[in-house]
Amino acid sequence: MTACGAPVVTLRRGPFSRLLPADAADRTWLRRFVIRVLIATNMVLGLYYFAWRFSSSINWSAWPIALALLSAEVYSFMGSVFFGVSMWKLRVRGAAPLAPPGKSVDVFITCYNEPVEIVRQTVRHALAIRYAHETYVLDDGNLPAIRAMAAAEGVGYIVRSANWSGKQRHAKAGNLNNALFQTTGEFLVVLDADQLAHPAFLDNTLAYFDDAKVAFVQTSQPFYKVPDGDPFGSHAPLFYGPIQQSKDGWNAAFFCGSNAVLRREALMQLGLMYYGRELVRRVRRALRAAEGVLHAAEGRLGSIVDRLERERVHGALHTLHGAVRHARKELRAGTPVQMVTWDFQRAAEAVARSLVQADLAQIGAELAELDGLPGIESGRTTTDMSELLGDDDALAALTRRDASPLVAIGTVHSLLLAVDMDRADEAQPLMPLATISVTEDMATAMRLHSLGWTSIYHYEELAQGLAPEDLGTALQQRLRWAQGTLQVLLRENPLTLAGLSLGQRMMYLSTMWSYLSGFFTVIYLIAPVLFLTLHVSPIRAFSGEFYWHLFPFLLTNQVLFLVIGWGLSTWRGQQYSLALFPIWIRSVTSAVGNVCFGRGLGFAVTAKTRQEGRYLRMIRPQLAAMALLCFAAIVGLGRLAFGFTTDGVPILVNVGWACYNLVTLGVVLTAATYTPDESEVAADEPETAHLAAFVAQRRGRGASAA
Amino acid sequence: MDITFDSQHGGVMVARPVGRLDLLSAAEAKSRLLETGAGGHPRLVIDLAEVSFIDSTGLGALIGALKSARQHGGDLRLARPTDQAKRCSRSRHWTA
């Protein structure tokens, strides 16, 4: 932990120190200048390489692998373009000014099923934050033990209100949305159950909010109890360093779900805006469905035998249909939706009054008999109708239903009641934190940006969390982040979301782009294998021309990365980027399945304590790839050694490529076979001796999270 | 915060909040409006002339009251919004 105000990362005093200017501001300027030169050079060399690649290098006789590899390279180049563009505006903020006094702050600690002792430590650290604040535990698990702990420590305790029973929970977003309406602080701090806050947390961040446009300040998310060598890649020094700093430069710093301070007004405004938009959308859908229902009903008037009754029903349908048409017209003309729904409901009521008692009894009886429409029972109509409005197929089924014209009137009335300035299918109409994705944080940040709010990335470690201690947990966490990010892309495309600046669009897109890497990694793994075993070459010749075009580009790429990551250990991050290709692929397919086809995502809350289990099973694809690469390298070298081929240099280059892949993939093997060493535990932790003992005891028992 | 209630003809209740309708007073204001709505006066008019400041939390409270009013067969309208109130609610689909 750092002293108040001092940023964590300073340039390491290495062999180049004497060459660098003494002044910190000058050093920052120089670094940025060098980075920009490298970015520009890298871009030019990349284009030079690809110009040649497209025109002269494709081996058409092996076109599947040739084109596949080319597409993978283009993908990677686009990735490096995004990287370069972000880094162009790398923003080093330095120390924050001291916080202004007198602001009201709520500190929220979200928990679900973490062990009580872990949450207790978090509570104690939160209480120790110097700036005056209220502390609350948001217990989504509603556990008596947590409630008792909160009472014992003297902090607030919040559970879901009664409104939430029977409604969608929306996980952490729902938890926070619920708490927002039970508290009143102007600012809120969000901490996960395991994040131990530094006493200076608010002192170092609140001053940023003097700028009225700032919606949130995000800080670093470092971990403690990270195993030696960080086999699980928990530290993300590149992301919580230069990457967030560069996004910050483009005013697109992400909210990461914890270790951040948010402005209540920004969240509430967001809730109101989206409530309004969603309401209009739903009223529009309801009216359209109503028109369909009525139209179909008019066609079935012939089923009524009695002439007088038929005329009466016809009259009622006609009036109602006119009211629907009028409402749709008004809505299109921009009349406030409150007026539209009010006027329509008065008309619908008038029609209902014109029906005689016998008609109403019949409507009731028919509605009660309905099956085939999911969940429609007469007593729960409003909530179910409200849920229907989100479901295109169900709405269409409503129209096609072979019910009597009278029932149509009842249906239309129910549809409009379901909308009625409310979200009957949700626990509360206002949901400030976005619920469209499991990474509610990123979606919320994007929406805030689109409304013109500013975000700040404060590069300081002001809270530390528990790192995953087993491969299963680590993989699950990464899958969740990947799925959530892609969900946001598919549901609210940053390229088209109104209100974002070009820079912001690019920043969001670049993160999403990186998750597509899984598919292309497979190509990068297969290509050397194909060459070494089957002599199938994706390019015409591994000639001098190839090397002259590729190597300068690769070189500047690596130098750029080196300069940006100076002083940070980024190798683990690079390894995991490549090695987790099955996770990235699965995240894309499951996110598409979820958003486009409504399938569940199938993930669980990330455990905060070690889960025992067999991990080699989880990395079967990587093990298969590694075996294949070894085999291919041996075959390739064998062919060279026994004189079956004279392509010495290409074989060696491909063997080198295969070896690089092996070393990169090797990280998952290390992670899977990792067993904790008891002596590590004490070394890493900040002042929590009895917590160490507790966790060690749990590890020994092989217990999973309580 | 102070809210005076004034019954008008036609079963309409006029509520006049005085002072700030913001994150500190919103919850209380909302529950008082809900009581009125549930207590047989679902047709509410909120006179905003003496609201010195309203923020998004305050507007949120009004939405809660609107929802309840509708549930009881009534409605909620805003009257005499100040410039600040208009700016705060911007282009939302409200009636003023």
Nearest residue in chain A measured CA to CA from B78: A338
Q: Is residue B46 part of a domain?
A: yes
Average pLDDT over residues B53-76: 89
3-state secondary structure of B6: strand
Q: Is residue B63 part of a domain?
A: yes
pLDDT at position A190 is 96
Spell out the alpha helix ranges (H) of A57-170: 63-88, 116-127, 144-153
Q: Is residue A588 part of a domain?
A: no
Tokens of residue A1, six digits: 């932990």
CB contact under 8 A, B70 and A421: yes
Q: Can you give the CATH number for the domain in which A190 is found?
A: 3.90.550.10
Based on the domain organization, do A378 and A461 belong to the same domain? no
Q: Is residue A705 part of a domain?
A: no
pLDDT at position A310 is 85
Work out the angle at residue A185's Cα, subtended by the Cα atoms of residues A183 and A186, and round it to the nearest 5 degrees.
135
Q: How far apart are CA A150 and CA A146, in angstroms?
A: 6
Based on the domain organization, do A228 and A203 belong to the same domain? yes
To the nearest whole Å, the CA of B61 is away from the closest chain A CA by: 10
Nearest residue in chain A measured CA to CA from B25: A184
Q: Is residue A14 part of a domain?
A: no
Residue A477 corresponds to which amino acid? Q
pLDDT at position A704 is 34
Cβ pair A89, A1 in contact under 8 A: no
To the nearest whole Å, the CA of B53 is away from the closest chain A CA by: 13
Residues of B within 8 A of A342 (CB-CB) are 75
Give the pairing of strands A214-219 and A454-458: parallel
Give the pairing of strands A223-224 and A454-458: unpaired
Q: How far apart are CA A46 and CA A77, in angstroms?
A: 7
Based on the domain organization, do A242 and A303 belong to the same domain? no
Per-chain mean pLDDT for chain A: 83
Q: Is residue B95 part of a domain?
A: no
Which residues are paired to B20 by β-bridges? B53
Domain that holds residue B59: 2-89
Cβ pair A135, A398 in contact under 8 A: no
Q: Is residue B20 part of a domain?
A: yes
Q: How far apart are CA B27 and CA A296, in angstroms?
A: 46
pLDDT at position B15 is 92
> Which of A413-417, B12-16, B18-22, B89-93 comes out lowest in average pLDDT?
B89-93
Which residues are paired to A687 by β-bridges? none
Based on the domain organization, do A286 and A224 belong to the same domain? no
Q: How is residue A292 annotated by DSSP?
A: H
B9-60 pLDDT tens trace: 888 999 999 999 999 999 999 999 988 888 888 899 999 999 999 999 999 9
Close Cβ partners of A593 (under 8 Å, ≥ 6 residues apart): A599
Residues of A within 8 A of B59 (CB-CB) are 268, 272
Assess whether pLDDT exceeds 80 at residue A377: no
Residues of B within 8 A of A339 (CB-CB) are 95
Share of chain A above pLDDT 70, in %: 87
Residue A224 corresponds to which amino acid? Y
Give φ, ψ of A627 to 5 degrees: -60, -45
Q: Does A451 touch chain B (CB under 8 A)?
A: no
Residues of B within 8 A of A421 (CB-CB) are 63, 66-67, 70
Q: How far apart are CA A406 and CA A362, in angstroms?
A: 8
Based on the domain organization, do A143 and A209 belong to the same domain? yes
Cβ pair A127, A153 in contact under 8 A: yes
> Can you spell out the DSSP letters for A55-88?
HH-B-GGGHHHHHHHHHHHHHHHHHHHHHHHHHH
Q: Is residue B40 part of a domain?
A: yes
Nearest residue in chain B measured CA to CA from A342: B75
Q: Is residue A424 part of a domain?
A: no
Assess whether pLDDT exceeds 80 at residue A401: no
Q: Is residue A606 part of a domain?
A: no
pLDDT confidence of A614, banded at 50, 70, 90? low
Q: Is residue B59 part of a domain?
A: yes
pLDDT confidence of A227, banded at 50, 70, 90? confident
Cβ pair A459, A505 in contact under 8 A: no
Task: Give the closest residue to A518 by CA, choosing from A464, A551, A479.
Answer: A479
A490-536 pLDDT tens trace: 888 899 998 999 999 999 999 888 889 999 999 999 998 998 888 88
Assess whether pLDDT exceeds 50 at residue A664: yes
Q: Is residue A136 part of a domain?
A: yes
Tokens of residue A614, six digits: 């067999």
Tokens of residue A371, six digits: 């099956």
Query: Which helix (H) or strand (E) is B3 found in, with range?
Result: strand B2-7
Q: Can you give the CATH number for the domain in which B75 is found?
A: 3.30.750.24
Q: How far apart are CA A94 and CA A151, in angstroms?
A: 39
Q: How far apart are CA A197 and CA A465, in angstroms?
A: 9
Residues 266-285 of A with CB under 8 A from B: 268-269, 271-273, 275-276, 279-280
Q: Is residue B96 part of a domain?
A: no
pLDDT confidence of A417, banded at 50, 70, 90? confident
Give the pairing of strands A260-263 and A156-158: unpaired
| Exposure string over A118-144, b if 16+ CB within 10 A, otherwise e | bbbbbbebbeebebebebbbbbbeebe
Q: Within 13 Å of residue A46, how many CA atoms lie on the same side as its CB?
A: 19
Number of domains observed in the structure of chain A: 3
Nearest residue in chain A measured CA to CA from B58: A268
Q: Does A342 touch chain B (CB under 8 A)?
A: yes
Tell me how crowded residue A671 is: count the other CB atoms within 10 A of its CB.
26
Based on the domain organization, do A123 and A182 belong to the same domain? yes
pLDDT at position A680 is 47
pLDDT at position A543 is 73
Q: How far apart are CA A436 and CA A453, in angstroms?
A: 20
3-state secondary structure of A410: helix
pLDDT at position A548 is 81
Domain that holds residue A644: 21-88+516-579+613-675
To the nearest whole Å, the CA of A308 is away from the closest chain B CA by: 32
Which residues are paired to A436 by β-bridges? none
Cβ pair A113, A605 in contact under 8 A: yes
Number of domains observed in the structure of chain B: 1
CB contact under 8 A, A272 and B92: yes
Q: How far apart are CA A25 and CA A94, in angstroms?
A: 10
pLDDT confidence of A605, banded at 50, 70, 90? low
A542-578 pLDDT tens trace: 777 788 888 888 888 888 888 888 878 888 888 888 8
pLDDT confidence of A476, banded at 50, 70, 90? confident
Q: Does B75 touch chain A (CB under 8 A)?
A: yes
Cβ pair A632, A526 in contact under 8 A: no
Which residues are paired to B75 by β-bridges? B43
A312-342 pLDDT tens trace: 888 888 999 999 999 999 999 988 888 898 8
Q: Is residue A524 part of a domain?
A: yes
Q: Is residue A356 part of a domain?
A: yes
